[in-house]
Amino acid sequence: MTTATGAPVRSHRDGGALRRCTALDPRRFATEVWGREASLSRAGDLDPGGFDDLLSLAEVDRLLSRHGLRTPFLRVARDGRTLAAADITRSGGTGAGIADQVADDRLARLFVAGSTLVLQGLHRTHGPLLDLAQGLAADLGHPVQVNAYVTPPQSRGFDAHYDTHDVFVLQVAGRKRWVVHRPVTPPPTPAMPWTEHPGDVEAAVAADPAVDVVLAPGDALYLPRGFVHAATALGEVSAHVTVGIHPWTHRHIAERVLAGLADDESLREALPVGVDVAAPGDLTGPVRQALDHLVARLSALRDSPDLVRRVAAGLGDASDAAVRAEPVPPLRQQSALAGLGAATELRWRRGLRADVADRADGTQVRTAEATVCLPPGSAPGLARLLAGETVPAGAVGPDLTAAETLLRQALVVPAEP
């Protein structure tokens, strides 16, 4: 989604979330490290140091015992094997009507026996990590997920493997030894999991590691996708947060470009009668013909602004689906509506992209969640909101109508005191 002027509208990026994950200057990280090299940051060099505000062992206990978690928000692993959901869940009891709540007593037995507990999707269930994930997604421009791994002493949950996304490892508690090897298939996509290359992974592990380091609380490690790694807890319970970054790639762009050629009549033309599509000899001519046509079409589209707009629109929709906007507390929103006055301070929801278009009857605002039309004269106030400003409701439009509409549709929220 774009504005009428063609510029994307999303919350401002200040680099604060990225600075929590790496001690490198954001520009240096972007140009020298991103997608290329592993990078270690010690607690004393990070800004600010420590991750106690993000997650603690006490909070892990609370989530596992009192939060009513269900699968797949939890996995349990032991010696490289993930346990079945039935091994870690049971009914929620009277009145719950839920058959697969996490069974805390089973977790306790499994953990003392050496299993690793994996809290998944913490960017949706735990406020501090939700905020970190949204900030990092804004800083990097790529979708982010957050898991936590809690391992008993001297245990390892997973064998050496590689991920198909980049990760920041944030050590929360205890110490864990990380042994990292160079990629065996750089850079892998989700369609290229390490399980399809077990021999290559085994060979990589036999070589000298690129990184062999012990992470202590407050330390952070960045690993690009494809780097083979394994981690072992040392003499105490270890917990780390893994922030996974799922990068947009040139392949995403190519797929959108090719999707735009679906209406090409030549590409929809049937192959000859009697063709054997499994025989290379029968396909040599048609393949060359299709490629020649694609090359000609793509060459003609190379400098097409309309193509770029279509690709941006498609990827924008995909981004909206991958990166959810700031959560909205329904009761607080209703209270703000009930007490709305000219002096009520409002701000645009962080992470919510908008397409703004001028119309004869006002200004249309379209997001992935709602489409509204604001009365004439609302454009200046709307522009201030989209620029990240806090704006009094009376300044959003000529009266309170625009502010009420935006509040009611949850596009803006009351500013924090």
The per-residue pLDDT for range 82-112, each reduced to its tens digit, is 999 999 999 888 877 788 899 999 999 999 9
Nearest one of 48, 102, 42, 99 to 72, comparing CA atoms: 102
What per-residue confidence (pLDDT) applies to 310? 93
Token pair 């994996």: residue: 118
Q: Where are the extended beta strands (E) located within 301-361?
A: 345-348, 355-359
Share of the chain above pLDDT 90, in %: 85
Q: Do 192 and 185 touch, CB atoms closer than 8 A? A: yes
**88, burial (CB in 10 Å: exposed 0-12, middle 13-18, buried 19+):** buried
Nearest one of 2, 37, 309, 293 to 187, comparing CA atoms: 37
Q: In 3-state terms, what secondary structure has residue 119? A: strand
- Max Cα–Cα distance, the chain, nearest Å: 75
Q: Provide the terminal-to-terminal Cα distance of the chain, rounded to the nearest Å.
A: 31
- Residue 193: CB atoms within 10 A of its CB come to 14
Residue 310 neighbours by CB under 8 Å, 6+ apart: 256, 260
Considering only residues 227 and 6, tell me which one the structure prediction assigns the higher pLDDT: 227
**What is the mean pLDDT of the segment spanning 281-310?**
93
Beta strands 355-359 and 362-366, pairing class: antiparallel
Q: Do 163 and 185 touch, CB atoms closer than 8 A? A: no
Sketch the domain layout of the chain as residue ranges.
16-245, 250-321, 330-414
Residue 172, φ and ψ in degrees, nearest 5: -95, -45
What per-residue confidence (pLDDT) applies to 270? 94
pLDDT at 11 over 50: no
pLDDT, one tens digit per residue, over 151-208 is: 999 887 788 999 999 999 999 999 999 999 999 988 999 999 999 999 999 999 999 9
pLDDT at 264 over 90: no
What per-residue confidence (pLDDT) applies to 3? 43
Q: Do 350 and 312 touch, CB atoms closer than 8 A? A: no
pLDDT level of residue 260 (50, 70, 90 thresholds)? confident
Share of the chain above pLDDT 70, in %: 97
pLDDT, one tens digit per residue, over 27-61 is: 999 999 999 999 999 999 997 778 999 999 999 99
Q: Do 194 and 162 touch, CB atoms closer than 8 A? A: yes
Q: Do 256 and 307 touch, CB atoms closer than 8 A? A: no
pLDDT level of residue 334 (50, 70, 90 thresholds)? very high
Write out the H or E segment, with its range, that includes residue 202: helix 198-206
With the C-alpha atoms ordered 353, 357, 358, 361, is the resulting torsion angle positive or negative? negative
Please state which architecture CATH assigns to domain 16-245: Sandwich (2.60)
What is the chain's length?
417
pTM of the entire structure? 0.89
- Residue 367: CB atoms within 10 A of its CB come to 19
Output the average pLDDT for the chain: 92
The pair of structure tokens assigned to 369 is 């969640």
pLDDT at 24 over 70: yes
Give dist(CA 188, CA 182) in Å, integer: 13
What per-residue confidence (pLDDT) applies to 13? 59
